[in-house]
Structures are given as C-alpha cells and as structure tokens.
Structure 1
Amino acid sequence: MNKHNFISLKKASELEAYFNQFTKIVQRENFYSGYSDHGTCNYWLFNEMETILNTVLFEFHVSQNTVIEDEIKSDNQYLALFIWESNVYFKGHCIGEGENVKSILFKKGDEIKLDLKENEHIKGIACSFSDRLLHHVLKEDALYFSNLFDDKPYLFHTMNQEMEHCIREIFSLQIDIPGKFGFKSSKIIELITHFLVNINQRRKESKEKYLTIDVREEMLEVKKMIISNLMEPPTLKELSREFGISIPKLRKTFRSVYGLTPHQFLIRERLFKTRRKVFTTSLSMSEISDLLGFADSSHFTKLYKKEFGNAPLRERKIQHCKIA
C-alpha cells in the first residue's frame, strides 16, 4: 500500500521535501512533478494568501492501491476538496466523476483518508481556508456554518454549474499560462466563493423542503440529458415524459437542486461554452453564437453581457491583456 500526505503542503520547502521521495523531479515556478515506480504526481501550489486561502491543483496516477491522507489541526481551518474527471473513495463512498457527490468539506476531526485504486488516477483541487474567508464570504450566516456538519467532521456536497465551469477553466486555461498567479488565484477565489454560497443556500433551502438522494439522482440525470443535447435540447414535455414527472414539478424540483429552471440552466451552459470559445479561439461573435445555437449574435451579446458583465468582444480584449 502506497501512502501520500500532500494536501496540507503549503510551502515550497515542504514540497521539496515531499518530492525527494520520487525518482525523477521537475520543478518550475509553482509547478512540481514527480515520477517513481509507484506512479506520477503533478502539483501546482497557490499560496499567495498565506493562512487565509491556500490551494493546490493535483493530478496523481498510481500503479498500486494508494491512500492519500491528511489532517486538519486548527479549529478555525477548513478544507474543501473538489474531485474532477476522476474518482476517489472516502469512508466507502465513491466521490467524483459520474457521482452526485463531487466535493467534500472537512473541518478539524478525524484524519482524512482517501482511497485510490490500483492503476487509476485522481485529479482535483484542494482549498484550505480560514474562518476569516468564511466570514468575508457569508457575513452573518458564517455564525451558523458549523451547524452543517452535524456530528461528523466532513460534509458531502455536489458541484453546481458555476463551480464546474471554474474548475474547467482553471485546468484547461489557467495552468498553461506560466506566472500569471493573480489571474489563476482570482478563479480559485471565485470557485471557493461559489462553493460556500451554494452550501449556505442549500442549508436555507433544506429548512423549507428536504430532497431525498433519489430525487437528487433523478435531477442529475435530467441535467446530464440537457448537457449532452445542447444544440437540440429536449423540451420540458419530453423531459417530463422521459422521467415520469409533471412539468411544474420537474421545473420546481430541478430549480431546488441546481438553483435554475431547466431552460435557465440550458442558456447558462451555452453561455459558459461560448465564453471559453471567446477566450480560446479567434472566431467571430456571429460564428460563436451560431455554433452554440443562439438565434442571432445581438441576442447572444445581450445574454452574454447580462451573465458576465461585459460584452464578449470586450472580454476577449481583457483576456488577451491579462496573458500578454
């Protein structure tokens, strides 16, 4: 059994000591990579905010069963773990790709042990943050945050659309821009803000109506169907017939789980996809709007500006200035 303790490594000196166990090591700026007979480890460190928020992006490939372990030692520290395009096991629960549970929030308590199976990989983001950040994001609601955990030092959570897009951008865009720590860190702050606000919103909603795991799983399938058919999305009538739910109940339940109606979710998903094309291609706005199924470019521009605060052309110029 191979063991790794890496989540709480927040300093370059700690990372150097950790990576000494690997046969081959590569290090540049905030990126560390190690290779041995046990597998490979890629690791990006973002620690500009010191104890307020420290973040690691990681990707492990292992050749044998592996335990990734850590421990939170301070009462005022939390750890948010996001699993991306992979799976890991925690206390017998599968977390990540294809599962409703894709993230875990930890506080001081039991030792954290994540099980990774032989010849598999894990990819994700771990954010260690203090209660200072918690109070900054949630204001007076931070006082009730500890009540979320019940009798356990961890909390299973899903990922909403905003969190998924933040993580996608961090991995697909940001880490390929060496040295632009400020830009990358802003996306990380955006991610953890969405995470905390979403958890807090769920706490408030749960007081009004409890949603069973079966209902959440069903809405996850509805979400998958919408995402897989963005160009020719199913109508509410078709979704209602497919899942055996009345249209009003489908709309209301989907909104309770994801904070948006199915139609709003579809539009936002399209907008986030167009935003990536605005950032990463030289296509015209007309070409992008046609590609993603918007009626016309002016309608697309109006929706884009409403969602992101800037017109797409202006965002492209701002983005190019950041990476220049």
Structure 2
Amino acid sequence: MDQLVKFTLGRGDMSHVLSEISQTYPGSSWDGQVFTVDTPNTSVKITNLDNLPGVNMSINEVWFDYDVLFQEEAQEETSILIRFVHDSVLFHQGTGNGAVGENQLNSAAMYNTLRAHQVFIPRHRNIRWLTFRVSIETWKKVTYGLLPSIDQLLQRKEEWIIFETIDYNMEKCIRRIFEVQSKNRAERLGFSLAKGMELLTYFFRQLSKRLENDHSVGLVTMDVDTIFLIKNDLIKNIQSPPSIEDLCRKYGMSADRLRNNFKKVFGLPPRQYVLKKRYQEAYQQVKQTNESLSSIAHSLGFSHSSHFANGFKKHFGVSPSALRENK
C-alpha cells in the first residue's frame, strides 16, 4: 500500500513550529535557524529567516521515500503566503491539484491564511522551494496601495489563491539563494535576505502590471476543478488547442462562465493563457536544447520569428538569444 505521511504546520511562527517538530521527529535537528533531517528515507533542510519585521522567509530542500502532505492550519490573523518553486513541482490540494513549478505555466502561488491549506509533495523527487509569509501591515507598506483589489480581498472570510509565472529576474534570484546555502552562516543570512526582498519586489511588480486593467483575482470556487480540467485540455496540444465552443459543449458551461472562471483562477482568458504557456515552453527549450530559435518558434505555433522574439522578451525581460548566450 502506498504510504502517505501527513505533517501539520500549526499556528505560531515558523521557528516555534520547527522547534517542536525537531523534538519529536527521529533524526532531526534544529539550531534556531536551520532544521535538518538526515535518514535513509528522508532528507530535509529548511532554513528559516525571521530577521525582518512582518516577513518570514524559509528556504526548503526536501526528498522523501514516501508521499508527504503538508497541512497548514488556518490563522486567525490573516497573512499572505507566497511560494516559489524551483526545478521541481509542488501540488496545491483543493485547488484542482494545481501543479506549481518546473515545466508548469505557473511557478509561484500566493494565497491567504484564513483557511487551512494543503501542499502535496510526491515521493522520490528532490523538491526545492521558497516560502514567504508576509503580514498584512507589511504587505501594505511594500505594495503602497498599488493592488487595491487584493487589499479589499484580504478583508473577506474566503480562501483565495493566485498563480503566477516566474520571470527571468525572479529565476536568477531564486537560483542564487539556493547556491549560497553552502556558504558560512553570516554570508548565507545576509545574501538570502537581500535576494529574497529583491525577489518579492519583482513578484509584486509583475503582479501589479497584470492587474492594472483587471482587478479580479483567483478566488477558489466550486468550479475550480473543472477549470483545471479545461486548462489541461488546452495545453495537451499547444499548437492547436480546442475551441471555446468545444470546451463549453464538453463541460456543460457557457462561454462567459468559462472565460470568467478561467480568468479568476489563472488571471488570464484561455487564449492568452495558451499563448503564455507557449512562451513558457519556449523558455525551457531555449535554455535546455540547441534547437534553432526559428525551429522552436515554429514548433510552438509562432508563425513569425520576429513576433516570437518580441513577445518572449516582453514575457521574460530577456530576449531568447540573450537567454541562450547566458545559459
């Protein structure tokens, strides 16, 4: 029988939670900043940084010989959690099992803490991610009121989640944070905090641009599982995805309802989502293969290489040729 181990992250600050776990979990240790587990079937390293008022940052690297479900308890005082997944995949349960991470359109998720939340970690995979917990007061200071729709949403007693991409600048910050973890404690602490704040700045700026003309956000609703099925249908054949009419017939949903609910979950209408996914696939191919840029563009349904290059730079802040030179 497949084994599923559940960990409950209770209320209170992360340092307190990790300290309690270290007292009961076999093979674990906690020095006030770094929590580790090193056993034949478990490898965990969590660096917890709470040096900045109102912001908690954790740097997580794990491997399990079994499936793991992290259960985050609801908090009476609302905070915002932002999770960035690097070179791996996490699954947010209760949101259509939304995959976040490598080779996914979305590599970041932001949600509130008014309700319990679950994150699934599959066995036999090295998983690396960053988590930021930001207090509402600090959020307001950082965003300067530029995201009024989210400010209003924070007052509601409903769960919500926003999925977002990681652009070139964010990816560089994340990569450097993990690279520096082998350094001495003082260097690791200062550099990680500095890069973490830079990462949040890029993230909030990108999210602000996305919501400039549309202040809707990804509320989790009863339709969310269907919306994730629709998303899967759209990207199965990225060159020639099904039409809105075909999807409406398949899922018994009107076109307006489909578009509106899709946009609430993913922040984009279906067609724009597909376009963004094409660029995400192109990003991976430019980084990981030696295929010509024109071949990559053609294979993903872009008819003009110049349009592909311009759109690529708009999405990621770097041209495909520059990305390839620096890979």
Structures share fold, TM-score greater than 0.5:
yes
Confirm whether residue 276 of structure 1 aligns to residue 284 of structure 2: yes
Decide which of 260, 267, 270 is 1:262's aligned counterpart: 270
The structural deviation recorded for 1:116 is: 8.0
- Counterpart of 1:61 in structure 2 is 64
* Distance change >3 Å, CA 200–CA 78, structure 1 → 2: farther
- More divergent stretch after superposition (228-237 vs 116-125): 116-125
* Distance change >3 Å, CA 69–CA 122, structure 1 → 2: farther
- Counterpart of 1:145 in structure 2 is 151
For residues 317 and 6 of structure 2, what CA distance do their matches in structure 1 show? Answer: 47
The structural deviation recorded for 1:117 is: 11
The structural deviation recorded for 1:147 is: 6.0
- Structure 1 segment 170-319 matched on structure 2, within 5 A: 174=175, 178-179=179-180, 181=192, 186-187=198-199, 189-191=201-203, 205=216, 213-247=221-255, 250-317=258-325, 319=326
- Counterpart of 1:97 in structure 2 is 97
For residues 320 and 153 of structure 2, what CA distance do their matches in structure 1 show? Answer: 41
CA contact (8 A) 1:83 1:96 kept: no
The structural deviation recorded for 1:56 is: 1.9
Q: Report the secondary structure of 2:179's partner residue.
A: coil
What letter corresponds to residue 156 of structure 1 in structure 2? E
What letter corresponds to residue 134 of structure 1 in structure 2? K
CA contact (8 A) 2:54 2:134 kept: yes
What letter corresponds to residue 134 of structure 2 in structure 1? F
- More divergent stretch after superposition (177-186 vs 259-268): 177-186
Pairwise CA RMSD: 5.4
CA contact (8 A) 1:67 1:115 kept: yes
* Distance change >3 Å, CA 62–CA 68, structure 1 → 2: farther
Greater share of residues in helix = 1
The structural deviation recorded for 1:138 is: 5.0
* Distance change >3 Å, CA 289–CA 88, structure 1 → 2: closer
What letter corresponds to residue 37 of structure 2 in structure 1? G
Decide which of 118, 133, 137 is 1:128's aligned counterpart: 133
The structural deviation recorded for 1:120 is: 10
For residues 311 and 302 of structure 1, what CA distance do their matches in structure 2 show? Answer: 7
| Matched residue count | 292
* Distance change >3 Å, CA 96–CA 224, structure 1 → 2: closer
Q: Deviations over 1:302-324 (max 9, x none)?
A: 2212333432223444x55xxxx
Q: Matched residues, percent identical?
A: 16
Q: Report the secondary structure of 1:213's partner residue.
A: coil
Confirm whether residue 23 of structure 1 aligns to residue 30 of structure 2: no
Relative to the length of structure 1, the TM-score reads 0.61
Q: Report the secondary structure of 2:151's partner residue.
A: helix
Q: Report the secondary structure of 1:80's partner residue.
A: strand
What letter corresponds to residue 23 of structure 1 in structure 2? G
Relative to the length of structure 2, the TM-score reads 0.61
- Structure 1 segment 96-115 matched on structure 2, within 5 A: 97-98=97-98, 104-106=111-113
The structural deviation recorded for 1:233 is: 1.4
What letter corresponds to residue 279 of structure 2 in structure 1? L
- Counterpart of 2:52 in structure 1 is 50
The structural deviation recorded for 1:285 is: 1.5
Q: Deviations over 1:162-209 (max 9, x none)?
A: 24x57xx869x837961285667644554466679989999x548xxx
* Distance change >3 Å, CA 238–CA 5, structure 1 → 2: closer
- Counterpart of 1:34 in structure 2 is 37
* Distance change >3 Å, CA 55–CA 241, structure 1 → 2: same
For residues 212 and 105 of structure 1, what CA distance do their matches in structure 2 show? Answer: 11
CA contact (8 A) 2:162 2:265 kept: no
CA contact (8 A) 2:9 2:73 kept: yes
Q: Report the secondary structure of 1:34's partner residue.
A: strand
- What runs of 5+ residues in structure 2 fail to find an aligned partner? 100-108, 181-190
For residues 236 and 66 of structure 1, what CA distance do their matches in structure 2 show? Answer: 35
Q: Report the secondary structure of 2:79's partner residue.
A: strand
* Distance change >3 Å, CA 310–CA 23, structure 1 → 2: closer
* Distance change >3 Å, CA 227–CA 197, structure 1 → 2: same
For residues 117 and 271 of structure 1, what CA distance do their matches in structure 2 show? Answer: 27
What letter corresponds to residue 27 of structure 2 in structure 1? T
For residues 225 and 106 of structure 1, what CA distance do their matches in structure 2 show? Answer: 31
- What runs of 5+ residues in structure 1 fail to find an aligned partner? none
* Distance change >3 Å, CA 235–CA 257, structure 1 → 2: same
For residues 74 and 98 of structure 2, what CA distance do their matches in structure 1 show? Answer: 27
For residues 254 and 67 of structure 2, what CA distance do their matches in structure 1 show? Answer: 48
Q: Report the secondary structure of 2:52's partner residue.
A: coil
